[in-house]
């Protein structure tokens, strides 16, 4: 499963993201644990490769939404959609450590050792969204709307100032759309 989503991620990235610095960003991503990392420790995509799969699914959800809303909001380039969807969770690179935990099997009453992930952040920087923005901008320049979308993709969960998220969604429709696509990939696609 991991390699299929990795191949799809790479295809989407290479076909859509051509901005200066994109090759360097992709090399950096490939040099991290992005393709093997989970999307979370216990919730959506909590398995090896979950982060990559989640990012690909966010891209597809975002693209569908952008097409459906094209008459009400300004169009977004495929490059913009690919950047924000594929890179919104770069903060999770070098963030999880594989390990094991014991879980009791209800049917047998026996304890079993199962694989799991724990958080072991290598680069403690800001919040979830702001760290992803920082990492992307080490390699390529984001527009204001792209930066705000990535920064606010977690909605109110990652922001101390709720009014700033509301203002971001009012000002930049892409920010709300990325948040909604992220939620759809998490709760509808279950990744």
Q: What is the pLDDT of residues 22-77, one digit of tens each?
A: 999 999 999 999 999 999 887 788 899 999 999 999 999 999 999 999 888 878 99
- Owner of token pair 């919730």: 43
CA distance 89 to 110: 37
- Tens-digit pLDDT string for the chain (191 aa): 445 999 999 999 999 999 999 999 999 999 999 999 999 887 788 899 999 999 999 999 999 999 999 888 878 999 999 999 999 999 999 999 988 889 899 999 999 998 888 889 888 888 889 999 999 999 999 999 999 999 999 886 655 666 788 899 999 999 999 999 999 999 999 87
Phi first, then psi, for residue 98 (nearest 5°) are: -70, 145
> What are the boundaries of each domain within the chain?
2-187
CA distance 105 to 49: 25
pTM score: 0.90
- Owner of token pair 């909590």: 46
pLDDT of residue 151: 94
């Amino acid at each position: 499963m991991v390699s299929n989503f990795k191949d799809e991620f790479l295809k989407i990235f290479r076909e859509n993201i051509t901005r200066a610095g994109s090759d360097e960003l992709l090399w950096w991503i490939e040099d991290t644990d992005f393709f093997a990392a989970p999307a979370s420790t216990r919730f959506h995509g909590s398995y090896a490769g979950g982060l990559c799969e989640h990012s690909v699914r966010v891209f597809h959800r975002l693209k569908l939404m952008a097409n459906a809303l094209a008459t009400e909001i300004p169009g977004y380039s495929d490059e913009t959609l690919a950047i924000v969807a594929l890179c919104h969770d770069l903060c999770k690179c070098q963030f999880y450590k594989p390990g094991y935990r014991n879980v009791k099997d209800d049917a047998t009453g026996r304890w079993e050792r199962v694989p799991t992930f724990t958080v072991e952040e290598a680069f403690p920087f800001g919040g979830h969204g702001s760290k992803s923005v920082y990492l992307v901008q080490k390699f390529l320049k984001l527009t204001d709307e792209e930066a705000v979308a990535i920064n606010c993709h977690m909605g109110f969960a990652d922001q101390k100032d709720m009014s700033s998220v509301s203002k971001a969604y009012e000002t930049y429709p892409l920010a709300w759309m990325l948040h909604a696509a992220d939620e759809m990939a998490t709760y509808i696609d279950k990744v």
